Amino acid sequence: MLDQVNLNQPDIDKGTYKETHDALIERLVTLQQQARLQGVGLVVLFEGWNGAGKGSRISDLMFNLDARATSVHVTGDFDVDEARAFSDAGHNVTGYWPFMQQFWQALGPRGAITFYDRGWYSVAAERAMCRAFGGLNPKRKEGKKGTVQGDQLAARKEAGVCLASIREFERGLVDDGYEVVKFFIHVSAEGQRERLERLAADPTTAWRVDKKRLERIGNYEYAYSIYDLMLEGSNFAFAPWTLVNGEDKRRANIVIAQTLVRALESALARKEAANSAKVASAVDSANVVDASTPADASASADGAAKQPPRFAAPATSRFHLVDDAPTLAGVDHSLSLSPEEYKDELKSLQKRLFRLENNMYQARIPLMVMYEGWDAAGKGGNIKRVAQSLDARAYTIFPSPAPTAPELAHPHLWRYWTRLPKAGHVGIYDRSWYGRVLVERVEGYASPERLTQAYDEINAFEKDLVDWGAILLKFWVEVSPDEQLRRFEERQSNPAKQWKITDDDWRNREKYPQYKEAIEDMFRLTSTSFAPWIILESDDKRYARVKALRTIVAALEDAGLSD
């Protein structure tokens, strides 16, 4: 794709440039305020060569835009030593954090503009080069000018893994109401060398060009091939590339401003159309009378909203699903342990887990243990027995209460991308990202369109975690309706436990059929080969606790650890 960039276009005269550019910026400032009011998020990615002027292009835009609704994320330099250390460890962990984590963390809310100065493509290209050449400076073979020692197949494989994650990220942003604009600032090899050497010679800018960056000037042709490969593979219809001539500052500024204006105009038009469709749908629904239903049946006596419309889950997934996904109908509610068996097994498994967790920390393997389940099923007690086995400095328990206002202004998975354990640590999730396809589905908080997309968005998230090297265990804590009722009544009659029971618990119990249907769809559509569901039969809490510990211990041992 880079050969499409014409680096020899005639210069634009100053007067024409100023008139055109000022008009575009004025329009862009107006559109930014409209986008802010309408909740349209804009993600602007600047990729390109070192010295191509990415930072200057962002600075020019930031000077004119409303700073209250903009942010800039500058991607740090790729840590080759860290990448080598994780590769040499031999546990398939790629780093302290997943590849895309920093970009999710930096994402601004809908209604804001997030600029990325270098981003996921730069990191992906550097990872591919590191995998191929053992670093960012390919070593030439002696006596063979123009050839390098490296594993090109490994580079392409690494680039492919990264591109799969990138596609899911960008597609998810667009589905969630963001507009994604991607610029690649292109310069020739000669142009890059001239700029970097000029920066290095100036005492005020020399700090921006270290020795390693200057050494990489000679790797232009190898980086070119990787960049071109990635650009071809990521020119998505929903997030296309805009290639920019970085050797002509005036032309570059005009192309960038024009592209941003068109992107916001298009996004706002789609938002207006969607809002109009919602209003029309609401009016049509209000005017429809079902002759078989009493006129007041759609609302309760206190004026509560009617039940959300029935949702039909997707038939299948883009990801590889297991053939033997669990079902609630297959649960054996009679499984139990005697108090003596429980005491012996619990003590033994907790000791083993403690030793394995210490080895896991040294091997820098991340462990994520996620709990979903019925109210009063025993999630909290189960988590407590697992945490009891671990070094308190090495784990974090992440609850999932009702989302905050900032969380609601971001994509659903943002709150979990920002709550991950560092490699070598343990993250325990008391409820999780599955709230979207459970409570949000049953209560009607998420639209049918977003629910349809949610299953594979979750699968993509979990695939990223596993590709990072995380051990991901997903527990469903199951209890029969009769045992749940007994526990509810016990809590309500015991002053020391009354805080555990709320009106919402009783209300959720009344919706057992709807939740059961949602759970079965969740099992069917998200029990993947890389992250299958595991049921903890918890009519006997002792049995469920021991099974959870046994499963975690087995997973760590399967990862090559020993106690």
Q: What pLDDT is recorded for position 288?
A: 47
pLDDT band, very low/low/confident/very high, at 268 (cuts 50, 70, 90): very high
Distance CA 548, CA 560 (A): 19
Residue 498 has pLDDT above 90, yes or no: no
pLDDT tens per residue, range 168-191: 999 999 999 999 999 999 999 999
Distance CA 539, CA 378 (A): 9
pLDDT band, very low/low/confident/very high, at 298 (cuts 50, 70, 90): very low
Average pLDDT in the 258-268 region? 98
Q: What is the mean pLDDT of the chain?
A: 91
Find the helix packing angle between 541-558 and 339-363, rounded to 10°: 30
Residue 284 has pLDDT above 60, yes or no: no
Q: What pLDDT is recorded for position 305?
A: 45
Distance CA 153, CA 149 (A): 12
Average pLDDT in the 328-333 region? 96
Nearest to 104 by CA among 180, 39, 169: 169
pLDDT tens per residue, range 105-156: 999 999 999 999 999 999 999 998 888 777 777 665 544 444 555 677 888 8
Q: What pLDDT is recorded for position 149?
A: 52
Average pLDDT in the 327-345 region? 97
Q: What pLDDT is recorded for position 77?
A: 87
Percentage of the chain beyond pLDDT 70 is 92
Distance CA 428, CA 426 (A): 6
Neighbours of 251 (CB within 10 A): 18
Distance CA 163, CA 92 (A): 18
| Domains along the chain with CATH numbers | 41-270 (3.40.50.300), 333-558 (3.40.50.300)
Q: What pLDDT is recorded for position 283?
A: 59
pLDDT tens per residue, range 62-79: 999 999 999 999 999 889
Q: What pLDDT is recorded for position 296?
A: 36
Residue 443 has pLDDT above 90, yes or no: yes
Residue with the two structure tokens 């002053």 = 495
pLDDT tens per residue, range 85-111: 998 898 999 999 999 999 999 999 999
pLDDT tens per residue, range 469-488: 999 999 999 999 999 999 99
Average pLDDT in the 297-308 region? 44
pLDDT band, very low/low/confident/very high, at 11 (cuts 50, 70, 90): confident
Residue 310 has pLDDT above 90, yes or no: no
Q: What pLDDT is recorded for position 207?
A: 86
Question: Model's pTM, two decimal places?
Answer: 0.91
Bridging pattern class, strands 148-149 and 139-140: antiparallel
Residue 289 has pLDDT above 50, yes or no: no
Bridging pattern class, strands 471-478 and 139-140: unpaired
Distance CA 433, CA 99 (A): 19
Q: What pLDDT is recorded for position 226?
A: 86
Residue 53, classified by CB atoms within 10 Å of its CB into exposed (0-12), middle (13-18) or buried (19+), is buried
Residue 47 has pLDDT above 70, yes or no: yes
Q: What pLDDT is recorded for position 223?
A: 85
* In contact, 46 and 121? CB cutoff 8 Å: no
Average pLDDT in the 419-442 region? 97
pLDDT band, very low/low/confident/very high, at 157 (cuts 50, 70, 90): confident
Average pLDDT in the 342-371 region? 97
Q: What pLDDT is recorded for position 378?
A: 97
The full DSSP string for 387-420 is HTTS-TTSEEEEE--SPPHHHHTS-TTHHHHTS-
Most confident of 199-203, 276-280, 293-297: 199-203
Q: What pLDDT is recorded for position 222?
A: 81
Q: What pLDDT is recorded for position 302?
A: 41
